[in-house]
A and B are shown apart, each in its own frame.
Chain A
Amino acid sequence: EVKVVESGGGLVQTGGSLRLSCIGSGFNFNDYWMNWFRQTPGKGLEWEWVASIKEDASETYYVDSVKGRFTISRDNAQNLLFLQMNSLRVEDTALYYCARDRAGGRACDIWGQGTRVTVSS
């Protein structure tokens, strides 16, 4: 079965840090772009893209609101995707999802169940 599973969410105070992980299985992890998204229940289930990383990690992209605070990385030998989140803000509270880009890119075909991040003041 092709799947991705997130972990690492939790409750943290403003200014704190968390590291999210996502492990892929059932596919050649190093052949795919990987992404982090988040969904915020308080905003009518609004979706926001957070970051993306190329297959070989040579390119990374971030939404402006997390630039300089979050870092996306991957360990292809371990089939792992990471999101290091520093200087967390209340507005980072969300359900964070790891998602695989389909072969050929430009859409996500495999999604995890999400890991919840709550930032309290």
Chain B
Amino acid sequence: EIVLTQSPATLSLSPGERATLSCWASQSIKSYLVWYQQKPGQPPRLLIHGASIRATGVPARFRGSGSGTDFTLTISSLEPEDFAVYYCQQRRDWPITFGQGTRLEIK
């Protein structure tokens, strides 16, 4: 099973600041890395697939990067609606696995 580790667990920032979220895989997953955003009481929203491809309708301030085992989600300038929990997921192999999430909170 491929284990995904996200860091940090919680990130406290202010609107307008830059957010950098990390996700590490226990073995190479090439570029089969997905990022989701989840807000309370809602299902996940697809942000990034293929490690760096923004999903339809996702603002350009969200950028995914990385390949192999190290991945990053960068939000260039935080908007109030960006404060949420972010999960990475690998789709390289079965079983599909998730990271434990990074909570992005308002400072």
Q: Find out whether the CB atom of B98 lies under 8 angstroms from the CB atom of A107.
A: no
Residues of B within 8 A of A9 (CB): none
Task: Flag if A49 contacts B43 (CB, 8 Å).
Answer: no
Interface size class of A (residues with CB under 8 A): 20 to 34
The CA of A117 and the CA of B94, in the complex, are separated in Å by: 24
User: With the chains together, A12 CA to B106 CA distance in Å?
Assistant: 39
Please, how many angstroms separate the alpha-carbon atoms of A97 and B46 in the complex? 14
Residues A107 and B43 in contact in the complex (CB < 8 Å), given A61-B94, A63-B95, A64-B95: no
- Which chain A residue shows the least CB distance to B101? A45
Q: Of A19-27, A70-78, A108-116, which stretch is located at the interface?
A: A108-116
A79-121 contacts to B, CB under 8 A, are 97, 99, 102, 105-109, 111-114
Q: Does B67 contact A (CB under 8 A)?
A: no
Number of A-B residue pairs with CB-CB distance less than 8 Å in the complex they form: 55
Q: Which residues of B contact A105 (CB under 8 A)?
A: 91
Query: Contact at B96–A52, with CB atoms within 8 Å?
Result: yes
User: Cβ of A108 and Cβ of B98 under 8 Å apart?
Assistant: no
Are B87 and A111 closer than 8 Å at their CB atoms? no
Closest Cβ of chain A to B8, distance in Å, is 14
Residues in chain B within 8 A of chain A (CB atoms): 32, 34, 38, 42-46, 49-50, 55-56, 85, 87, 89, 91, 94-98, 100-101
